[in-house]
Chains A and B, each alone.
Chain A
């Protein structure tokens, strides 16, 4: 399954799962990165990492390593 770090700029996908059960996964879940939700990639920082996303009406920034935890559908 693809993960969120592979989502091209400007593309959207649906969240399938957040893997792991550590502080990072909990933080992602709290911020609304939850199964079934739609998320859009807005781009990356000038140095290539972190990435910027749009979901639930706000902008969220994640490192690539963090985005890799999020399984998406396409």
Chain B
């Protein structure tokens, strides 16, 4: 048997990696295990499970990355996961053989708080003393040998970003494990209560309970554990705990202050004579930066500028990349179309599969750009300042400063916005932000507004020609979601996520240059997570919607027409190309300006004449066939499952002033709101290739009538549709990302329901009010 196969058969050594946020935990994780990591979620919570594997010599090691935390005192299920993993109580994660605790050497005092809790667990532990370079620069010296001796565990100095110290650390991982010596930290009175509580738990159905958790029960007033000891009556436990805490207070060990007091006292003794630091706080470059970046005027101005850049980047720079996606999609579609004959297979491939893949990839540019900014801002230390600057404003809305960037990004697209809420550690703030993020007016709503405003809002100006009504309407629609989000966020905070205000208490890390590798790895990880874990769901949805619009009708005739059109198109390639060129010329002439002079008008007229001529002669038969196909496509869509649903919901949408065609359009655009334009194009027999500015489509909408001849569309109806689109959750991709980020189907379902109800009510109200006052 070879050495490698022996190694692969052996059980890997499980190492849990733990540390405060911003310690270099991710850097160390990557340095040890490369970028290959398995990721997923722990069941029932939003904590990301990340496991890397590597080998030291022949020893296989599996490295479990735990979320960055200041303390092991769980107040929520998410925080409990780390404790459960460490104690081997998490069923889907093997108990750790070793804990690797990483701390910041330049800020040892606070970081050792977590270490002191970890040592209480009694596992073999290694202390990774990271950022020794920073400590050296700040004039902090540490006697490593003495520190290791006093702690009773190995201490390995590291500069993880340069890979320094990683080799000795790898060796230390496979050396004989060293368990920390028992150190009685707490006063005797506490130990007595702890023993009594352990007995009480054993006698009251809790079974064997780890000593660390018994201590946690005593120390964490209102903590997560108090309500979640299986087999024990919570009321009885609360009473027992209250009594024990009362006795402790009398003995001078007031909970919860006692824990911090004894641990920090222990740290003081531990570090006494081990660490020396300069007496006075030196003014660093970071401090000078900070003075400007949090300045009353410049700070806010720079922040505004920065946000403008981020927003512009997502909104505009992503554009060319998204166009590239679309062009690629178009090319592949053409390729497939050329190689298949018209029929269900082609339709599935082009409209279902390629459309579905395109529908996933189209979001990537925005996600990559936003996460690039987030990774850079976070790594250079600005992210915490952004929250610091915006907190007062956001607390007025019931959120916190950290919600600002995710919400602002949602104005471009809710998908990267929802993913960006990961920077908010507090679950209630994070979930509220996720739930209102889809209300922000994303760029996919623009085509709907453009179409309807172009067709139905008068191009008049008010206020002496300073404001035009169309732009005002567009502005109003863009703001509507954000304005509605304020009371909604407040409502969610007061009902669904009730409880004490989440603490802001935040470390402001020093500024530094971002690490390109770390930035890259974060961007890569989020893009991958989106494609793999949300993309598949988005793809499946596209296939489903394609099927609903295609079946159960017989498409034989349509396929025949398509074949005929293709043959005819080949024969008429020349006049068709000529028409395309003429149309381009005409629109170029039209776009030249508002005041056409005579020669321009003449030019346009001659182009138009030639176009008409073409349509009357060479292309007559062809256009006829196109019309036939479009009418057939409209009829097929009407009789498809989707069309039938549109008809079925007509009574429901009538109060909004809509007919079944709008109903179908809205139904079809639940997966992706921008689809409405193409769907309306198909329903109105214009084919699916129209765009929002299409004069033909705007005309068709204006001419659309009820069976009794009244026009369907009016200003109130157009407004009610726009309001509906502004508030409705018509984006399967967002819902799938919410599913992934909350790790639950409940929250996307809830988002869908609340937004649809809200949109319906608001659309109804709009129609009522507008009919009364505007029509």
Seen from chain A, the residues whose Cβ lies within 8 Å of a Cβ on chain B are: 17-18, 21-32, 34-35, 37, 43, 45-50, 52, 54, 56-63, 65-66
Contacts and interface: CB of A to CB of B under 8 A. Distances in A.
Nearest to B109: A56
A27 to B, nearest CB: 5
A45 B294 contact: yes
B392 A43 contact: no
B150 interface: no
Contacts of B384: 61
Contacts of B507: 31, 58-61
B107 A32 contact: no
21 contacts: A22-B500, A23-B500, A26-B256, A28-B503, A29-B257, A30-B113, A32-B264, A34-B260, A35-B257, A45-B391, A46-B296, A46-B389, A49-B391, A50-B388, A50-B392, A52-B294, A58-B110, A59-B509, A61-B507, A62-B504, A66-B503
Given A29-B256, A47-B393, A60 B109 contact: no
Contacts of A57: 106-107, 109-110, 277
A28 B504 CA distance: 10
Contacts of B259: 29
Interface of A is mostly: mixed
A66 B506 CA distance: 11
A58 B107 contact: yes
Contact of B300 (A46, A52, A63): A46
B686 to A, nearest CB: 52
Interface in B272-302: 277, 281, 294-297, 299-300
Nearest to B393: A47
Nearest to A54: B281
Given A29-B257, A46-B294, A66-B503, A21 B508 contact: no
Contacts of A29: 256-257, 259-260
A23 B75 contact: yes
Contact of B110 (A32, A46, A66): A32
A28 B392 contact: no
A55 to B, nearest CB: 9
Nearest to B113: A30
A30 B260 contact: yes
A31 B299 contact: no
Given A34-B261, A57-B107, A27 B391 contact: no
Nearest to B256: A26
Nearest to B221: A21
B255 interface: yes
Interface in B465-500: 500
B505 A66 contact: yes
Contacts of B281: 54
Interface string B220-231: 111000000000
Nearest to A58: B107
B71 interface: yes
Contacts of B501: 24, 65
Nearest to B140: A57
B73 interface: yes
Contacts of B506: 60-61
Contacts of A37: 264
A65 B509 CA distance: 22
Contacts of B107: 56-58
A5 B276 CA distance: 31
Nearest to B300: A46
Given A32-B109, A45-B388, A50-B391, A61 B508 contact: yes
Contacts of A47: 389, 391-393
Contacts of A52: 294, 388, 508
A62 B256 CA distance: 19
A50 to B, nearest CB: 5
Contacts of B670: none
B212 interface: no
B70 interface: yes
Contact of A30 (B71, B299, B392): B71
Contacts of A60: 505-508
